[in-house]
C-alpha cells in the first residue's frame, strides 16, 4: 500500500487496519444529523476562480439520465449539479444531504428521512417529498434497467409523512440502509405527476449546468442561492473529457487543467517530482478484474476459472501495473479497505502446477481464449499483456483483442464471455456485493449465480450481531474467490493528481481527507475543493 506521506511502498504484508466503520449501533431510536459536506483542512477554502478538471471515463453515449451512469465523468458532473438525500463525507461517514436527518426503530425495517425545507431546483421549483419519491421510484420496478435497481429491491414501499418527511419501508432489516441512498444513480430530480425530469439538467446542487456535450465537456456556473454554503467554491467549472491517461497527464503538467483523475501510474514518478503538482491518493475499494461469464462455455467450468486465477502473479501486478499504489487481491472485491475484509484468507499465488492440474480437470487443450480489453484505466492494456505472458508460461492460450474505450460499456461489458476491466468502489460491503453478485443483479457481469451467496448477502445486510455478520461476509468472500467468475489480482488505491494551487482537504495529521467511495473525492471534488 502506498503511504501518501512517507512515499514508501509495500506490496506484501500490508496493514489490515479497519479504515472506516459503516454500521450503526441499532437499538432504540437512531438519529443522525450533519451540516453539509465541509471537510477540515489546514488551508481555508475561498470562493472564486475558474476550475478546469481533466477527467476520464467519458463516453459519447453519456446522458444526464441517472439510471445510466457508469463512470467518473458523468458521476462527477451529476454530483456538482444535483444532490442525494444522503452523502458520503470526506471521512467516509454519512453526511446530511437533502435529508437533514433520519431515524429508524430498533429493527431497522423502517427509515424516516426529514426533507430539508426551503430548497429549490435550478429551474426554480421547490423541493417536495413528491420529488424525492418519484426520483427513487424511477430506479425501481421489474422493467428498470438502472444500475441501482438491485439496491432498491429491498424497498417494499416509499411514502410521504406529512409534507416534510419520507418513510422507506423495507422487506427486511438493513442496518446500513442510508448508505444505499448515497449511490450515484440516486440523484433527486424535479418531478411532475410522478415523472422525473432529468433531461433539463435541473438540480439542487451548488452549480448550474450551462452546457453539456457528451464525451467532450461540460460547463458549470456557481449557483448564488444554493442551500448549502459549505460547498461550491469555484465561480465556474469546465469538466473536460480526457480518456487517454498520457493526454490527461500532459494537460496537467502544461497547466491546461488544474486536476486530473487516474494519472498514468507508469509515469507517476514524473508527477511525484513536479514541484507544482500534488499526488492525492487514499486506500481504495477499486478492484481490477478479469470477467468470465460463468453461463458461457468454456467459462462455465469452474476448474478452468480456477486455472485462470492461478495464472496471474499478483505481486508483480501490484508492482508493475499499480506501481505500489494498491494491495494484492484474492479474486473477490472486498479488499483490505473494507471493514469486513477477511484478512485470514491467504491470497492465491502464481502456481503453474495448479494451473495445469485444473486445466487437465477442465479438459482444456490449449484452445484459444479471446480476452477483450480497452484502456479503461491507465495501463490496462499493459496489464493484460502481462497476464497473457504469465498465463502462457502455465499453458493457457490467451489471445488479446483491444477495443475502443468509447462504447466499451455498451458493446462489450455484460455481453462478451471474457474481458478485462475494473469496478469502481462502493463504500460498504453490501453496496458492492448487491450490485454485482446477487443472482438477480442487473450488473452481475460474470452471470454467477449461487443460492448460498444470495442468502449470505441478504442475510448479512439484516444481521445486527457484528460477529455473525463478519462470518457471513467471510463465507461470501470464500464463495466468490473459489467459485466466482472474477479474477481479481489487485485492489487499487484511488489516485488523483492536482495542481498545488488547489486546496484538497487534509485531516489533523496531514493525511488527505477525501472520500474513498469513488474517484475524485467520491465524485464530490467539484463541491468540496477550492483554490488557495
CATH code for the part of the protein at 83-201: 3.90.76.10
Where do we find the cell 441512498?
A: 181
- How far CA 306 is from CA of 237, 302, 380, 451, 480, in Å, comes to 47, 6, 22, 20, 11
Q: What is the chain's alpha carbon radius of gyration, rounded to the nearest angstrom?
A: 22
Domain 83-201 and domain 283-493 have a common topology? no
Per-residue pLDDT of the chain (532 residues; tens, 9 = 90+): 333 333 332 322 222 222 222 333 332 333 333 333 333 445 678 899 999 999 999 999 999 999 999 999 999 999 999 999 999 999 999 999 999 999 998 789 999 999 999 999 999 999 999 999 999 999 998 889 899 998 999 999 999 999 999 999 999 999 999 999 999 999 999 999 999 999 999 999 999 999 999 999 999 999 988 999 999 999 999 999 999 999 999 999 999 999 999 999 989 999 999 999 999 999 878 999 999 999 999 999 999 999 999 999 999 999 999 999 999 999 999 999 999 999 999 999 999 999 999 999 999 999 999 999 999 998 999 999 999 999 999 999 999 999 999 999 999 999 999 999 999 999 999 999 999 999 999 899 999 999 999 999 999 998 989 999 999 999 999 999 999 999 999 999 999 999 999 999 999 999 999 999 999 999 999 999 999 9
Residue 345: strand pairing partners: none
With a CB cutoff of 8 Å and minimum separation 6, the contacts of 385 are 400
CA 3 – CA 125 distance, rounded (Å): 46
**pLDDT for the residue 9:** 29
- DSSP 8-class letter at 321: I
**pLDDT for the residue 44:** 72
Nearest to 242 by CA among 257, 232, 222: 257
Pairing verdict, β 94-96 and 259-261? unpaired
Give the right CATH number for 37-82+205-276+500-532 from 3.40.190.10, 2.30.42.10, 3.40.50.150, 3.30.1490.100: 3.40.190.10
**pLDDT for the residue 42:** 52
CA 142 – CA 154 distance, rounded (Å): 13
Q: Which three cell numbers stand for residue 400?
A: 488479446
* Residues 113 and 102 sit within 8 Å (Cβ to Cβ): yes
Strand, helix or coil for residue 8:
coil
Enter the pTM of the model. Answer: 0.82
Residues comprising the chain, all counted: 532
Q: Domain locations in the chain?
A: 37-82+205-276+500-532, 83-201, 283-493
* Residues 32 and 102 sit within 8 Å (Cβ to Cβ): yes
Q: Which three cell numbers stand for residue 234?
A: 469555484
**pLDDT for the residue 118:** 96
Nearest to 334 by CA among 344, 325, 349, 320: 344
Instruction: Please report, in angstroms and rounded to a whole number, the separation of the first and last CA atoms in the chain.
Output: 29
With a CB cutoff of 8 Å and minimum separation 6, the contacts of 224 are none
**pLDDT for the residue 225:** 81
**pLDDT for the residue 4:** 33
Cα dihedral 77/78/80/84 (nearest 10)? -160
**pLDDT for the residue 10:** 30
- How far CA 267 is from CA of 52, 245, 279, 398, in Å, comes to 22, 10, 12, 27
Give the right CATH number for 283-493 from 3.40.50.720, 3.10.270.10, 2.102.10.10, 3.10.105.10: 3.10.105.10
Amino acid at each position: 500500500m502506498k503511504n501518501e506521506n512517507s512515499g514508501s511502498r509495500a506490496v506484501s504484508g500490508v496493514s489490515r487496519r479497519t479504515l472506516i466503520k459503516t454500521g450503526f449501533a441499532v437499538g432504540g431510536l437512531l438519529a443522525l444529523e450533519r451540516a453539509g459536506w465541509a471537510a477540515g483542512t489546514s488551508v481555508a477554502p475561498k470562493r472564486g476562480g475558474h476550475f478546469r478538471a481533466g477527467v476520464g471515463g467519458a463516453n459519447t453515449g453519456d446522458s444526464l439520465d441517472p439510471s445510466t451512469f457508469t463512470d467518473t465523468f458523468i458521476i462527477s458532473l451529476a454530483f456538482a449539479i444535483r444532490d442525494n438525500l444522503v452523502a458520503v463525507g470526506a471521512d467516509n461517514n454519512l453526511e446530511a444531504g437533502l435529508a437533514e436527518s433520519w431515524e429508524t426503530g430498533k429493527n431497522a425495517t423502517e427509515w424516516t428521512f426529514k426533507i430539508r425545507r426551503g430548497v429549490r431546483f435550478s429551474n426554480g421549483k421547490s423541493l417536495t417529498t413528491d420529488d424525492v419519491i418519484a426520483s427513487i421510484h424511477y430506479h425501481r420496478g421489474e422493467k428498470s434497467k438502472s444500475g441501482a435497481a438491485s439496491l432498491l429491491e429491498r424497498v417494499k414501499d416509499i411514502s410521504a409523512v406529512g409534507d416534510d418527511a419520507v418513510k422507506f419501508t423495507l422487506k427486511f432489516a438493513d442496518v446500513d440502509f442510508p448508505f444505499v441512498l448515497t449511490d450515484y444513480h440516486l440523484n433527486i430530480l424535479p418531478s411532475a405527476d410522478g415523472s422525473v425530469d432529468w433531461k433539463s439538467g435541473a438540480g439542487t446542487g451548488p452549480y448550474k449546468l450551462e452546457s453539456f456535450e457528451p464525451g467532450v465537456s461540460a460547463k458549470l456556473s456557481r449557483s448564488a442561492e444554493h442551500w448549502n454554503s459549505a460547498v461550491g467554491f469555484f465561480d465556474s467549472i469546465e469538466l473536460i473529457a480526457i480518456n487517454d491517461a498520457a493526454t490527461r497527464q500532459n494537460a496537467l503538467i502544461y497547466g491546461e487543467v488544474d486536476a486530473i483523475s487516474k494519472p498514468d501510474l507508469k509515469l507517476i514518478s514524473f508527477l511525484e517530482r513536479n514541484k507544482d503538482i500534488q499526488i492525492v491518493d487514499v486506500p481504495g475499494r477499486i478492484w481490477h478484474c478479469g470477467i468470465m461469464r460463468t453461463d458461457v462455455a468454456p467459462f462455465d467450468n469452474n476448474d478452468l476459472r480456477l486455472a485462470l486465477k492461478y495464472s496471474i502473479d499478483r505481486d508483480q501486478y501490484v508492482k508493475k501495473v499499480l506501481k505500489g499504489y494498491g494491495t494484492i487481491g484474492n479474486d473477490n472485491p472486498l479488499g483490505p479497505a473494507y471493514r469486513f475484509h477477511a484478512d485470514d484468507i491467504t491470497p492465491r499465488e502464481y502456481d503453474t502446477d495448479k494451473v495445469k492440474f485444473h486445466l487437465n480437470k477442465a479438459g482444456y487443450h490449449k484452445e484459444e481464449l479471446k480476452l477483450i480489453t480497452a484502456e479503461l484505466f491507465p495501463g490496462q492494456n499493459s496489464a493484460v499483456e502481462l497476464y497473457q505472458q504469465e498465463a502462457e508460461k502455465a499453458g493457457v492460450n490467451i489471445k488479446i483483442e483491444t477495443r475502443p474505450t468509447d462504447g466499451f460499456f455498451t458493446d462489450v461489458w455484460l455481453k462478451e464471455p471474457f474481458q478485462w476491466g475494473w469496478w469502481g468502489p462502493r463504500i460498504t460491503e453490501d453496496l458492492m456485493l448487491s450490485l454485482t453478485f446477487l443472482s438477480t443483479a442487473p450488473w452481475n457481469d460474470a452471470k454467477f449465480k449461487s443460492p448460498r451467496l444470495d442468502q449470505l448477502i441478504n442475510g448479512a445486510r439484516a444481521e445486527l450481531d457484528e460477529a455473525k455478520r463478519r462470518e457471513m461476509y467471510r463465507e461470501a468472500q470464500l464463495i466468490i474467490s473459489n467459485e466466482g467468475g472474477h479474477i481479481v489480482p489487485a485492489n487499487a488505491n484511488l489516485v488523483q493528481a492536482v495542481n498545488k494551487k488547489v486546496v484538497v482537504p487534509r485531516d489533523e495529521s496531514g493525511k488527505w481527507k477525501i472520500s474513498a467511495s469513488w474517484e475524485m473525492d467520491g465524485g464530490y471534488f467539484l463541491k468540496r475543493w477550492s483554490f488557495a
